[in-house]
Amino acid sequence: MGKIGILLINLGTPGAPDTASVRRYLKEFLSDPRVVELPQWLWQPILRGPILMTRPRKSAHAYRQVWMEHGSPLAVYTRAISSALQQGLPELVVDWAMRYGNPSIASRLEAMVAAGCDRILLAPLYPQYCGATTATALDAAYEALRKMRAQPAIRTLTPYYADPAYIEALRASTLTQLAALDFAPDLLIASFHGMPERTRLLGDPYRDQCVETARLLGEALGCEVRVTFQSRFGRAKWLGPATDDSLRKLPGQGVGKVAVLTPGFAADCLETVEEIAIRAKADFIAAGGHKFVHLSCLNASRDAMNLYENLARRELAGWLER
Ligand SMILES: C=CC1=C(C)c2cc3[nH]c(cc4nc(cc5[nH]c(cc1n2)c(C)c5CCC(=O)O)C(CCC(=O)O)=C4C)c(C)c3C=C
Ligand SMILES: [Fe+2]
Ligand SMILES: [Fe+2]
């Protein structure tokens, strides 16, 4: 019998915070028809024209503000999650890959098979299922498997948006961080990445799963957890309410102290550190807010590792006992 592997998959990030690297990354990411659901004949001229002419420079500037000693936060924390999970599950082969950019899903799947894995759990690190994240990550894995003569057996991680171990990790992480800051916010906001409203109408369960995560977390904490959606892109109508608009209105409604958590992101990244912890904070304070705190994502915390070991052991049941 061969080995059992877990491949953690995250979104992807540029290799460096410069305009050329960000352009390469955005071109691959935004050319994915699961992400922008327009006919390519219509979309590609828009992407290659106005978008790739202007956005890479602006985004590279944002990336430079959050870049870490060992790379982009998304890559640094995803790698840390993989190393910590490998330590907790030494009998397995744990690896990580990115849907866009490097390390690619195909290259890591090939490496795992070469290392003797004949059973692999594909684990997109998205608690809430979305066609633009979970499905495209799995599509890429299946595409790589399609080219293999001897394929490993495959399982995929069930979306864990309502899993008691996930809710508990969020509850514990929220309470620990608020206690460390000695902060009692007037309101807790759960900001999730947005999606075009149309995808919901077409049957994507993403929005409902975000709402359910926040409801369960509110129940566990015994307080309101208000849902908002961030990172709007393009002109179509996106899921609402928007995080930035909501935050700007709060001081006028008597809410001066907020804590924002970003439970849809397994790892801190541009969207949490720059968009929320820097930009949303500045907007909130400019609108008259007194105190704003962004609570870190679960990253490779003890709470996170409890969660992932729990999910892995459950998804691998039957394989592990053999
Ligand atoms: C149509 C465009 C986009 C859709 C749909 C979308 C969905 C989506 N994205 C995430 C998670 C992440 N997105 C990140 C960055 C990012 N997202 C978009 C656009 C769409 N996302 C862009 C253009 C960018 C790049 C940055 C920018 O130029 O603004 C990231 C961070 C990557 C990083 O390097 O740190 C994450 C993570 C989810 C979960 C999601 C749907 C549910
Ligand atoms: Fe995104
Ligand atoms: Fe953003």
How far is it, in rounded angstroms, from Cα 216 to Cα 72?
31
Burial 234-271 (b: 16+ CB within 10 A, else e): eeeebbeebbbebbbebbeeebbbbbbbbbbbbbbbbb
Both 250 and 212 in a single domain? yes
Alpha carbons 211 and 192: distance in angstroms, whole number: 9
- Cα(292)–Cα(310) distance, rounded to whole angstroms? 32
Q: Please indicate, yes or no, whether residues 173 and 148 belong to a single structural domain of this protein.
A: no
Considering the domain architecture, whether residues 20 and 78 belong to the same structural domain is answered as: yes
Closest-CA residue, ligand 1 atom 24, reads 26
Contact yes or no for 5/93 (Cβ under 8 A):
yes
Q: Is residue 37 situated within a structural domain? A: yes
pLDDT of residue 289: 98
Q: Is residue 322 part of a domain?
A: no
Do 155 and 26 share a structural domain?
yes
Pocket test for ligand 1, best of 34, 270, 297, 299 (most atoms within 8 A of CB): 270
Rounded-to-integer distance, Cα 95 and Cα 123, Å: 10
- Say yes or no: 171 and 131 in one domain: no
Please return the burial class of 28, using the count of CB atoms within 10 Å of its CB with bins 0-12, 13-18 and 19+: middle
Residue 321 counted as domain residue:
no
Q: Are residues 290 and 307 in the same domain?
A: no
Same domain, 143 and 188: no
Give residue 293 CA to ligand 3 midpoint distance, Å.
18
When divided into structural domains, the chain yields a total of 2
Q: How far apart (Å, rounded) are the C-alpha atoms in residues 224 and 109?
A: 42
Residues 75 and 215 in one domain: no
The residues whose Cβ lies within 5 A of ligand 3, an ion, are 231, 271, 275
Residues 142, 204, single domain; the answer is: no
Tell me the CA–centroid distance for residue 231 and ligand 2, in Å: 7
pTM of whole model > 0.95? yes
Ligand nearest to the CA of 22: 1
Q: How far is the CA of 270 from the centre of ligand 3 (A)?
A: 7
Structure tokens at 156: 């995929």
Give the phi and the psi of residue 122 in degrees, each rounded to 5.
-85, 120
- Is 40 within the bounds of a domain? yes
| 321 belongs to an annotated ligand binding site | no
Whether residue 228 lies inside any domain: the answer is yes
| ipTM at complex level | 0.98
pLDDT confidence of residue 322: 65
Each residue's pLDDT, cut to its tens digit, for the chain (322 residues) gives 899 999 999 999 999 999 999 999 999 999 999 999 999 999 999 999 999 999 999 999 999 999 999 999 999 999 999 999 999 999 999 999 999 999 999 999 999 999 999 999 999 999 999 999 999 999 999 999 999 999 999 999 999 999 999 999 999 999 999 999 999 999 999 999 999 999 999 999 999 999 999 999 999 999 999 999 999 999 999 999 999 999 999 999 999 999 999 999 999 999 999 999 999 999 999 999 999 999 999 999 999 999 999 999 999 999 998 6
Phi, psi of 221 (to 5 degrees): -90, -20
Same domain, 77 and 144: yes
Same domain, residue pair 154 and 171: no
Nearest ligand for residue 273 CA? 1
Same domain (yes/no): 188, 258: yes
Could you tell me if 207 and 198 are in contact, meaning their C-beta atoms sit under 8 angstroms apart?
no
The CATH number linked to 288 is: 3.40.50.1400
Give residue 198's domain range: 164-294
Domain contains 320: no
